[in-house]
Amino acid sequence: MTSNFIDYVKINLKSGNGGAGSRHFRREKHVDKGGPDGGDGGRGGHIILRGSTQQWTLLHLKYRKHIKADHGNAGEGGRRTGAQGEDVIIEVPLGTIAKDAETGEKLLEITENGQEAVVLSGGRGGLGNHHFKSSTKQAPDYAQPGEPGLEKWVILELKLLADVGLVGFPNAGKSTLLSVISAAKPEIADYAFTTLVPNLGVVSYRDYQSFVVADIPGIIEGASQGKGLGLRFLRHIERNSILLFLVSANAKDVMKEYNTLLNELKLYNPELLDKKRLLAVSKCDLIDDKAIKKIEKKIPADLPHVFFSSIANLGLQELKDMIWEHLHDK
């Protein structure tokens, strides 16, 4: 099965050349020696990225390996400036980062709807010969050529923008939770790695408010070294305001699993540990009150937590309340 969730593309971009300046002289009846009146060349077209909430992935760019902007037109007589080359505007999802493919340098980042940023500037148009007239040179017979456009291989990388990132081992119940608390329809099955792509869900809260949850594919030990689904998905967690760790209540050791997940994030990017962390123990309908109390004793006092069951509809409102409270706890 091929996925429509594309979060990485490499494309060749080329901005337009600037138009040449004109070497024109006035040619009119009754004007014996018309002076220079060559206009400037138009600038070449830019390559621009624009943020759009209508785009969720980079799929529309997967097969566009080369994107070129138009060249600027040459200047004309009568000091007329040549037309600018038409810009190319590429719509991308919010959370898209552009990097130089050769150096890895970050060029820009798109985080807002309608935000526009120039990835490659078009070449400037050349100056026409009227700019070069002086007291000693009344009839300059030269003008500037236009500047060439730029060409670059660029990597576009998407990091999901969500309020809450669900972090957990495969089969911890993340997809089921998302399907129950939001309108998202992730694929759900009782085996590891059902979720091969991140799913976004908008969760309705009290008084018509809402927040966005991203179900990140399950992490396994060694994900930070590229095992399992690896680094490709860990990067989506970087954007989330809160990390909600999901551990199944029937795990052998809930806190050991939590600490393993924490360690994977630390190995990948220690800054992730600066984010707010919440613990949600799923599938609590599979254990009794005595077992819940036993698990609860091991959870540190400073780690907000809740027990819930998506299937039995237990603790879901408490879970939403906990998330909301910490999203708005300044």
Taking all residues of the chain, what is their mean pLDDT, rounded to a whole number? Answer: 84
Across residues 189-199, what is the average pLDDT? 45
What pLDDT does 56 receive? 77
Contact 286, 249 (CB under 8 A): yes
What pLDDT does 196 receive? 47
Helix (H, G, I), strand (E, B) or coil at 181: helix
Q: Identify the band that residue 54 occupies on the pLDDT scale cut at 50, 70 and 90.
A: confident
Helix (H, G, I), strand (E, B) or coil at 15: coil
Across residues 49-59, what is the average pLDDT? 87
Among 173-182, 218-227, 314-323, the least confident range: 218-227
Contact 86, 150 (CB under 8 A): no
Q: Report CA-CA distances (Å) from 143 to 22, 41, 75, 134, 247.
A: 6, 10, 10, 14, 70
Higher per-residue confidence, 265 vs 316? 316
Quick: pLDDT tens for 205-251: 888 787 888 776 655 545 445 544 445 556 666 777 788 999 999 88
Higher per-residue confidence, 297 vs 237? 297
Contact 133, 74 (CB under 8 A): no
Q: What percentage of the chain reaches a pLDDT higher than 90?
A: 46
What pLDDT does 219 receive? 54
Query: Is the whole model's pTM more than 0.75, yes or no?
Result: no
- Does residue 162 register a pLDDT over 80? no
Higher per-residue confidence, 194 vs 237? 237
Q: Identify the band that residue 187 occupies on the pLDDT scale cut at 50, 70 and 90.
A: very low
Across residues 289-306, what is the average pLDDT? 92
Distance CA 131, CA 137 (A): 11
What pLDDT does 154 receive? 97
Quick: pLDDT tens for 20-48: 999 998 877 666 667 899 999 999 999 99
What pLDDT does 213 receive? 83
Distance CA 43, CA 146 (A): 8
What pLDDT does 230 receive? 44
**Helix 254-268 vs helix 289-298: angle between axes, to the nearest 10 degrees?**
40
Contact 172, 250 (CB under 8 A): no
Q: What percentage of the chain reaches a pLDDT higher than 70?
A: 84
What pLDDT does 197 receive? 57
Across residues 150-164, what is the average pLDDT? 87
Q: Which domains does the chain have, with CATH numbers?
A: 1-158 (2.70.210.12), 164-327 (3.40.50.300)
What pLDDT does 235 receive? 65
Quick: pLDDT tens for 259-281: 988 888 887 778 878 889 999 99
